[in-house]
């Protein structure tokens, strides 16, 4: 049940032709068997990317979606719209969405419900700020993020959830959490899940790490026993680097 996953998060980067070029380069790469590869790309390029990756092992994902089914929400995109063009995976709760678009744990719980209702797979992101770590409240903070957004789910709904622990202080900063810090947090995340569900469920969920993952550090991070892969920002914009990360398992 637990899968090895490497997902690229392109964020708001690359225009349509650059997107097409990068996907074409990715298609020439050889990924290690057994690693699930996804790219989360801007809305505008999703439909073309689904067509371009058809017949490959690359899964195209969205970086966000709205919680409502449809309606007067100018500028937003619904789960059904994503589904219709063949996008079945969505990132929810990225720290940039939380920080710049005021997404709260409660709102994210709604988005998760909508995604699951539409049979989408969710990569749910969370992680502490530097102050939380400095004050040694990071374990409690992360536990509360998980509880607030996910503990209303029943066991079977977890089949469509992948978790991504992304300490905010390590995103885009070049500063990576150490493998020991990440392993400690991932074991904690499983322990938190076990308090609400059970150990079987806690051990079955894929938990990714995100925050300055690069070819140079991926191997050591992925070697930790509770780490099932990575959510990769900056380094996912380069086909060779991204492939090296995928092949670090
Ligand atoms: P980064 O971003 O790899 O550039 O640090 C990770 C993320 O935000 O998902």
Q: 166 CB under 6 A from ligand 1?
A: yes
Give the tens place of pLDDT for each residue, 145-168: 999 999 999 999 999 999 999 999
Distance CA 30, CA 70 (A): 39
Task: Give the pLDDT score at 26.
Answer: 98
- Facing residues of 4 across strands? 35
CA 210 to chain centre: 8
Check if 166 is active-site: yes
Distance CA 45, CA 10 (A): 11
Catalytic residue, candidates 94, 138, 186, 188 = 94
Q: Distance from the CA of 115 to the center of ligand 1, in angstroms?
A: 23
Confidence band, pLDDT 50/70/90 cuts, at residue 193: very high
Give the tens place of pLDDT for each residue, 60-90: 999 999 999 999 999 999 999 999 999 999 9
If you average pLDDT over every residue of the chain, what do you get?
97
Q: 59 CB under 6 A from ligand 1?
A: no
With the most atoms of ligand 1 within 8 angstroms of its CB, the residue from 127, 166, 242 to mutate is 166
Give the tens place of pLDDT for each residue, 24-45: 999 999 999 999 999 999 999 9
CA 67-151-78 angle, to 5 degrees, is 10
Share above pLDDT 90 across residues of the chain, in percent, rounded to a whole number: 96
Check if 25 is active-site: no
Q: Residue 158 is encoded by which pair of tokens?
A: 């977890």
Q: Residue 181 is encoded by which pair of tokens?
A: 């810090």
Confidence band, pLDDT 50/70/90 cuts, at residue 175: confident
Task: Give the pLDDT score at 53.
Answer: 98
Task: Give the pLDDT score at 173.
Answer: 84
Total Cβ atoms within 10 A of residue 27: 14
For the question of whether the overall pTM of this predicted structure is more than 0.85, the answer is: yes
């Amino acid at each position: 049940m637990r899968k090895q996953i490497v997902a690229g998060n392109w964020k708001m980067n690359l225009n349509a032709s650059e997107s097409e070029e990068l996907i074409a380069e990715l298609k020439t790469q050889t990924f290690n068997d057994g690693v699930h590869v996804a790219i989360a790309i801007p809305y505008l390029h999703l439909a073309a990317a689904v067509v371009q990756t058809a017949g490959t092992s690359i899964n195209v994902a969205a970086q966000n979606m709205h919680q409502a089914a449809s309606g007067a929400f100018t500028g937003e995109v619904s789960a059904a719209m994503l589904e219709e063009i063949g996008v079945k995976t969505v990132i929810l709760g990225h720290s940039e969405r939380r920080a710049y678009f005021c997404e709260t744990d409660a709102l994210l719980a709604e988005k998760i419900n909508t995604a699951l209702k539409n049979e989408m797979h969710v990569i749910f992101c969370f992680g502490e700020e530097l102050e939380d770590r400095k004050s040694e409240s990071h374990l409690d903070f992360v536990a509360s993020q998980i509880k607030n957004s996910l503990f209303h789910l029943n066991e079977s709904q977890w089949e469509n959830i992948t978790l991504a622990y992304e300490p905010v202080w390590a995103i885009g900063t070049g500063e990576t959490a150490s493998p020991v810090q990440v392993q400690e947090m991932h074991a904690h995340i499983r322990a938190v899940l076990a308090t609400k569900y059970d150990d079987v469920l806690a051990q079955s969920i894929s938990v990714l790490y995100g925050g300055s993952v690069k070819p140079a550090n991926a191997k050591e991070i992925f070697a930790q026993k509770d780490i099932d892969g990575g959510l990769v920002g900056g380094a996912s914009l380069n086909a060779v680097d991204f492939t090296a990360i995928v092949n670090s398992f």
